[in-house]
Chains A and B, each alone.
Chain A
């Protein structure tokens, strides 16, 4: 075959778009599933640290099986492989009274939405001129909401198809919880649209690069490392970053951030809002009847949802892949890789925060959860929209 011909074929716009998209999707999917298994391990380790235990520290390389004297524990890192292997090799037991088709379908429905959310998250600036977003669509933030609103089905269907009372109560709880917090989630994001004037996540990140992260009220304008050598320029850029508008807008944006963060906890069924699987009351909640790989799908789905939620928080409020001083991918492939690293580092911090919260706060009661959603966040988010509008109107006049 003629290599020049193949090269020409691969660089025609449509073909180029198709194979780069496939490559990006493949790599991101694998990396995220890898991150998920690391998160599960981190959860066990961090919980052990918080509760003053050791946590998993044994599974490493089993040298004794190979005739050695001692195992190499490797800080228990082998647990990441041992857990999935255990789940995969268990018997997949299907109880007698279940609705077979929906029982089979539910775990897939739980796993699908969080992976779809990844399609619109910009996980880096650009690499070799290829944009590091799988789908850069204009209604990106709304796409996230639309897809997460579908994740209710998996859990509800799982609870119903199991044909058993505890999963059913778990499924019903989860659907009303998710609908309630979706409202607060959707309303909390409207001030961001008003300030940035766009629904596109990439453009929101561009806005943050110019004006500072949405949660940071102060940003030196045009600040770079080189300015450290020129004090005059440095002072100039520091003063230029001070604006009354940003400090005023910081109030509603910070309220939005808190509501969004807490609602993400509720949407991903994390503690303190994990009522759908409260083990003291509901055995295992909606996944009580599941075993083996079907159970693992729920597990995977929950952690993938955590990852997707953290990705959304980072992209919308914490500047996405950007860090001050660091240039974007148009300055060379090295910086492109650095940007991807920055994104994953920020997401890891939020994931760690989620784990930390889980092992710090006790579970809410169900009526407290509903009260917080409907009487707390919903009116506050609504009021927040008016506040933003007033500030924008006053500042621009």
Chain B
């Protein structure tokens, strides 16, 4: 059943991911990205990582993408005009993708680390919220605080920059 859920969410996610690129209307693209994030959250939930799944929806689908949509609507972007495919560019793109994929498969097939299957979780079920909390705020206290200061300085920087343009 979990396998079926995996394939369901994975296929849907990829489909919406492709439609982000293919669709012409910017709002449709943004909404496809939202759906793709929600499907990703579904994948996390099938792996018993409920907390990460919920955070995925809360942060990416619920906050970041709303701002994207907001800006797309405010700028009033027109629908993309369909362009004629440039033969050389298409060929180059396909070549790059093909070579990347071939290198990737080679690495996966030859590296012994990928041959060992991950052991299944044993013991009583653990609370993922607690585990993440302990990892972030206990084991990785210092890096976490440094990131916090970094984000704060970025926020302050944005405010300073926007003030200057106002004057």
Contact = CB atoms under 8 A, between A and B. Distances in A.
Interface of A: 99, 102, 137-139, 142-143, 145-147, 149-150, 152-153, 156-157, 160, 168, 171-172, 175-176, 179, 182, 199
Contacts of A168: 73
A97 to B, nearest CB: 14
A147 B129 contact: no
A138 B127 contact: yes
Contacts of B55: 142, 146
Contacts of B40: none
Interface stretch (B5-13, B63-71, B86-94, B145-153): B63-71
Given A138-B51, A160-B73, A175 B58 contact: no
Contacts of B128: 138-139
Query: Binding site of B, secondary structure by majority: helix, strand, loop or mixed?
Result: helix
B69 A138 contact: no
Nearest to A149: B62
16 contacts: A102-B28, A138-B129, A142-B51, A145-B62, A146-B62, A149-B58, A149-B61, A149-B62, A149-B63, A150-B61, A153-B31, A153-B34, A156-B66, A172-B73, A175-B69, A199-B129
Interface in B9-45: 25, 27-28, 31, 34
Nearest to B128: A138
B74 interface: yes
Given A139-B129, A172-B73, A149 B54 contact: no
Interface string B43-63: 000000011001101100111
Contacts of A138: 50-51, 127-129
Contact of B70 (A137, A145, A176, A199): A176
Nearest to B73: A160
A315 to B, nearest CB: 17
A157 B73 CA distance: 9
Contacts of B54: 139, 142-143, 146
Nearest to A135: B50
Contact of A179 (B27, B61, B63, B73): B63
Contact of B69 (A99, A146, A156): A156
Interface of B: 25, 27-28, 31, 34, 50-51, 54-55, 57-58, 61-63, 66-67, 69-70, 73-74, 127-129
Given A137-B50, A157-B31, 6 more contacts: A139-B54, A146-B61, A153-B34, A156-B70, A172-B73, A182-B63
B66 A152 contact: yes
A384 B113 CA distance: 48
A125 to B, nearest CB: 22
A182 B67 CA distance: 13
Max chain A Cβ within 10 angstroms of own Cβ: one of B27, B58, B61, B129: B58
A206 B63 CA distance: 31
A102 B34 CA distance: 14
Contacts of B27: 99, 102, 157, 160
A186 B121 CA distance: 32
Given A102-B27, A138-B127, A139-B50, A145 B73 contact: no
A149 B57 contact: yes
Contacts of A142: 51, 54-55, 58
A12 to B, nearest CB: 14
A153 B66 contact: yes
Contacts of B34: 153
